[in-house]
Structure 1
Amino acid sequence: MNPTAPAPAPGVADRLAALCLTWRGRLPATLAPSDTVRAGLLVDLALAGRLTSTETSIELDSTPTGSPAADALLAAMDADPDRPLDDWLDERAIGLEQVVAALLESGQWRVTRSGPLRRRSLAPADPPPGWDGRDGGDWTVHLREPAELSPADAAVAALAVTGGLLGPARETGHADEPAAVPAAVLDRTGAARWLCAAAVEHLAWSRQRDRLQSAHLYVSDTVGPG
């Protein structure tokens, strides 16, 4: 990284990645946060004009954006244009890990060692005031008062709440029913509304699937023969 070059503004996926961090600065072991970050990458591409929706298809502009993870996803989509959007939302080859690697490479995130075992912790290199790695502020405000949100802010709020990175699910650690995202919040995402709405629907469905699977495993463990 050129030390004199200004750091690029964090994208939607970058900001979602920060919300994935635990209070110890660790990344989660579950797959759901990576799914949310991947949705953020797709929204970043839509906000950058690389993905646009028409009446019959999704149009793709393969011009790189400068974001390594987003560009990797863009190149993969360009190489497989017939693959449906839901498949890309589930594409496990590109997600949280790739976004974090790019943030570390660019110097936007830093690594520290803490505790007696000197375990690795991650944090933004220049965190905003009040950032403590554990929460994203009053998430309910983003849903109640969307009028002042930028398209990127609205996308972060919608995806983070639906993906469990903000709100009750983050506090409890359970795959609870996500809060409904008001249409007014989605409307604030502008040209990316179509993709953000699709991502919210997909993430909500994934959360419901995870809850049902967890309930099934619980019943299987507690109810047995005899």
Structure 2
Amino acid sequence: MKGYFFIVLTLLIATVSCEKEVVVKLAEGEITGKLNYKLTDDTGKGLSGLKVYIYNPGSKQDPNSPIDSAITSSVGEVNFTDLLPNNYQLRTDSINLNNNDYSVDEYVQITAGIERKKTTKVTDFSGTLIIRLLSYETRTPIQDQGVVAFPVNKIHVTSDNIADVVKSSTLKGLTDKNGYVSLKVPANQIFDFIVHHKIYGNYGWGFGSYQVAKGKTLNITLYSSFL
């Protein structure tokens, strides 16, 4: 086998998400690495026209300023080259999917002589809110009531628009016999809740402000007195 060069491909598939990484060995003697980064939707389709920023937290310059940025191509990819070995931070502007806003913020390790190809599903940047709805008077579970999470920095709920907010939201569910409902929401955003009767309305909101980190679960208890 002497005299031949080999390209070693290592495929790493995460077991808890749709993130995928491929590592390609470059020519011998390279002192920098490369990054091919792809953003996809729930179906795996690449998302075009998104701005991706790359940061070097160990830079002597302002670590809060990106060292480079790029717009994703028609297949959702950007490429960064001539990267010295380091753990780089990747961030995006707000990305709207399924009527919800997501923000990508993650780290990628770059190694000299290696091209890293990483695919990330945007909606993986979510957390889970496990909400329990109890009666304010009796502290017993309330079953079959609607619970809607809405981002307080984006939506201002009033008596005039609350029905439309409930109708258009994808972050909603009905409580079970124990008063529980689980909602998967974009990570690191502040949410409040609307509680409503599934048939008659009787809307209520203003239960407080809650947020959850990527991949984490937050348990919340809400009390209602009007259902």
TM-score category of the 2 structures, normalised to the smaller one: under 0.3
TM-score, with length taken from structure 2: 0.21
Work out which structure has the larger RCO, using CA pairs closer than 8 Å and 6 or more positions apart in sequence.
1
Greater helix fraction, Structure 1 or Structure 2: 1
Structure index of larger Rg: 2
